[in-house]
Amino acid sequence: MSKIIYTKVDEAPALATYSLLPIIRAFTKSSGIEMVTKDISLAGRILSTFPENLTEDQKIGDALAELGELTQDPNANIVKLPNVSASVPQLKACIAELQSKGYNIPNYDESAEITARYSKISGSAVNPVLREGNSDRRAPGAVKNYAKNNPHRMGKWTAESKTEVAHMDHGDFYGSEVSKTFDAEDDLKITYVAKDGSETVLKDSLPVLKDEIIDATVMSAKALQEFYAKTIAEAKEKDVLLSLHLKATMMKVSDPIMFGFAVKVFFKDLIAKHGELFDSLGVNFNNGLGDLYSKLENVDAAKKAEIEADIAAVYASQPRLAMVNSAKGITNLHVPSDVIIDASMPAMLKGGGKMWNADDQEEDTIAMIPDRCYAQSFKAVIDDCKENGTLDVTTIGTVPNVGLMAQKAEEYGSHDKTFQAAGDGKIVVTDKAGNTVFSFDVEEGDIFRMCQAKDAPIQDWIKLAVSRARLSNTPAIFWLDENRGHDAQMIKKVNKYLPDHDTSGLDISIMAPLEATKVSLERMRKGLDTISVTGNVLRDYNTDLFPILELGTSAKMLSIVPLMQGGGLFETGAGGSAPKHVQQFTQEQYLRWDSLGEFMALAASFEHLGNTQGNARAKILADTLDKATGTFLLEDKSPSRKLGSVDNRGSHFYLAMYWAQELAAQTEDAQLAAEFAPIAKAMTENEDKINSELVANHGTSVDIGGYYLPNDELASKAMRPSATLNSIIG
């Protein structure tokens, strides 16, 4: 029996699984394939972290650790759905929900030890464990052709647009980054040295492998706040929206601090007046203005009203903020995880450079992206659109991505190598012999970060880039900046290892991200394709940016991670809009989530299974599912926004019907064709009845028993409302 691991996750993708997985199991059970679920949801990760607090029947295993071990198995086959990379507010909300359901787990800030355990769950905790290979993301031909023939809405760009990107020009991570490739194994220590000479060890051991790249950098808190103040004044002067674009989930240590500084600079007058009270309430602006609002519930009505009036006065005197939810008054600065750069910037660019204001109208914005490392890529897109107008979805080329990420490569601003300076002094990195490797003068509040990139993943990344360029006969650009410390070391690696591969006849080049963006867009407008070969962060950004411009969404990308030990990880797309989808579903029983990414990942998973384990039926399942997905796209059965039309559950039915039809029609396996002929017939004949059952409850609310931990019975009932379909698939 072959096994495919199907991950249990959060929010809309988790709801979709209640509908889709029973279909997958029904279609695969006769082919010797077992679909095994592993719970890597935020709730699951929390519960597995505190077994000592739970009763025996509440305890669950550490599925993430189990999957981490499985990535080293050559037979590993994992379909990975998008999970929540939790910010602290999301983490606290999940904790509260679990506590309300009788799970005796501790509060986030119960003690330093408890908070440290929770920190291992928050942010990008899942991906570094599972991604033991590099990333190959691209838009399948059927998806790209569908987008060209059914273009999504694109906002109009004009040369008069006031939208622009604002970034720092000194004191940022880019400006101070230093990097070194180690010629032997070592062990590093990170120490904060105060002005009085006292030392605090921040990290006592960081093992380094031979040929590994280590870099370190510091962002100046003073320069960052000066940048915010200057840009806020500029937005006020130019009378445009102000927006902040960070990634407080993935960069879970550095970016919440940067977010907090933005809130404190914007509301400086409010904090100057009420700072002592805010301190006594334990307000943490790193968690956004929303943290203040939640703490105001603990003050008397008169004081609360006074503070709310003072907040309103700040809004009146400062530039208008981009909104997350205009109707509820939720601004860009309310919650760090509400606006994530890899989703928010592409959406703004797709919308003609506009974001939403408090009146629910679209408006130009100054987008604050403090660090120059990647801000200039987004700036290049804006400059291109101002000069050349809106991209024509019906003709543009595609920009697939080969991304470095294996073995936690380039995990910036998160986990155990990012710190905020406690005071003025130095942060020093020393090797095991006590020699200084890096040293930075710091002031109180400065943000120090280190990252590493091992040699084996880099070699694999370069190999994958050449392979993709060869397979698709497409030019490939390594997005590396020789003027940046880390990238200069990476360029040496590329130049060293590229000659190990046959690159004859291939167009492979190295360009700084700014120039690479310009060239890729120029080719894109001509209908030409260009592979972006990037590090981890640009992998994350580019695999949202270009798909959202090309396809309208990043959820329709095929994402394959060839694991370095021979297994396969098949990712199903991004989940940035998942929270809104859940809210709509509980209010209207209409789920807008598009599972196309799951369909494509599953087909690739079957194909890999057939190739590596000799399962002939798996290959047939892959081929027929691919054809069914093509029909699904041609017949336009993806979920729409309109209540009463096909939603996620309806899209699953149509995929199942087309898949059954293809299995019944194929001639490679007569037994399989005979099995699915009556299933295809029953679905086809009952199409109208099944549809009527699927839409019967549209427009009515539903209780699924929780947001982070839904009740399985309630959620399954809500996501499988067609008795006819359920009986057909058994």
Q: Work out the pLDDT band at 1, boundaries 50, 70, 90.
A: confident
- In this predicted model, what pLDDT tens digit does every residue of 396-450 receive, in sequence order? 999 999 999 998 888 876 668 999 999 999 999 999 999 999 999 999 999 999 9
* Stretch (H or E) spanning 3: strand 2-8
- How many Cβ atoms from other residues are within 10 Å of residue 205's Cβ? 10
Q: Is residue 184 part of a domain?
A: yes
Assign 3-class secondary structure to 19-32.
HHHHHHHHHHHHHC
pLDDT at residue 574 in the model = 63
Q: Is residue 440 part of a domain?
A: yes
Radius of gyration of the chain (CA): 26
The secondary structure of 143-169 as a DSSP string is: HHHHHHHSPPP-PPP-TT---EEE--S
Decide: helix, strand or coil at residue 489: helix
Q: Work out the pLDDT band at 558, boundaries 50, 70, 90.
A: confident
Q: Is residue 197 part of a domain?
A: yes
pLDDT at residue 411 in the model = 82
CA distances from 638 to 25, 538, 576, 593, 629 (A): 21, 29, 18, 9, 10
CA dihedral 28, 32, 35, 36 (to 10 degrees): 170
Q: Is residue 18 part of a domain?
A: no
Extract the tokens encoding 649: 């559950």
Tally the C-alpha atoms within 13 A of residue 485's C-alpha that lie toward its C-beta.
Answer: 20
pLDDT at residue 575 is higher than 70: no
Extract the tokens encoding 73: 């198995």
Task: Please enumerate in sequence order all residues whose Cβ is within 8 A of that of 716, keeping only pairs 6 or more positions apart, or say none.
Answer: 18
Task: Please enumerate in sequence order all residues whose Cβ is within 8 A of that of 328, keeping only pairs 6 or more positions apart, or say none.
Answer: none
Q: What is the end-to-end Cα distance of the chain in Å, rounded?
A: 21
Q: Is residue 200 part of a domain?
A: yes
pLDDT at residue 425 in the model = 98
Q: Is residue 113 part of a domain?
A: no
pLDDT at residue 414 in the model = 67
Extract the tokens encoding 151: 């273009």
Q: Is residue 428 part of a domain?
A: yes
pLDDT at residue 576 is higher than 60: no
Q: Work out the pLDDT band at 355, boundaries 50, 70, 90.
A: very high
Q: What does the DSSP 8-state code read for residue 9?
A: -
pLDDT at residue 297 is higher than 60: yes
* Stretch (H or E) spanning 324: strand 323-325
Exposure b/e, 663-680, CB count within 10 A at least 16 = b: bbebeebeebbebbeebb
Task: Please enumerate in sequence order all residues whose Cβ is within 8 A of that of 226, keeping only pairs 6 or more positions apart, or say none.
Answer: none
Extract the tokens encoding 317: 């005197």
Could you give phi then psi for residue 124, rounded to 5 degrees?
A: -85, 70
Percent of the chain with pLDDT over 90: 85
| Average pLDDT, integer, range 663-680 | 97
pLDDT at residue 559 in the model = 87
Total domain count for the chain?
Answer: 1
Q: Work out the pLDDT band at 250, boundaries 50, 70, 90.
A: confident
| Average pLDDT, integer, range 386-392 | 96
Spatial contact of 517 and 381, defined as CB atoms under 8 Å apart:
yes
Decide: helix, strand or coil at residue 566: coil
pTM score, two decimals?
0.84
- In this predicted model, what pLDDT tens digit does every residue of 595-645 receive, in sequence order? 998 999 999 999 999 989 989 999 999 999 999 999 999 898 999 877 878
* Stretch (H or E) spanning 352: none
Residue 197's domain spans which residues?
Answer: 178-219+417-451
Rounded distance between C-alpha atoms, residue 200 and residue 36, angstroms: 46
pLDDT at residue 137 in the model = 92
Extract the tokens encoding 126: 């899942």
What residues are paired with 562 via a beta bridge? 568
pLDDT at residue 193 in the model = 97
Q: Is residue 201 part of a domain?
A: yes
Rounded distance between C-alpha atoms, residue 67 and residue 69, angstroms: 5
pLDDT at residue 640 in the model = 84
What residues are paired with 78 via a beta bridge? 5, 569
pLDDT at residue 402 in the model = 97
pLDDT at residue 389 is higher than 70: yes
pLDDT at residue 127 is higher than 60: yes
pLDDT at residue 586 in the model = 95
Chain centroid offset of residue 110 CA: 29
Exposure b/e, 614-628, CB count within 10 A at least 16 = b: ebebbbbbbbbbbbb
Of 486, 465, 461, 484, nearest to 474 by C-alpha is: 465
Decide: helix, strand or coil at residue 118: helix
Spatial contact of 7 and 41, defined as CB atoms under 8 Å apart:
no
pLDDT at residue 368 in the model = 97
Percent of the chain with pLDDT over 70: 99
Residue-averaged pLDDT of the chain: 94
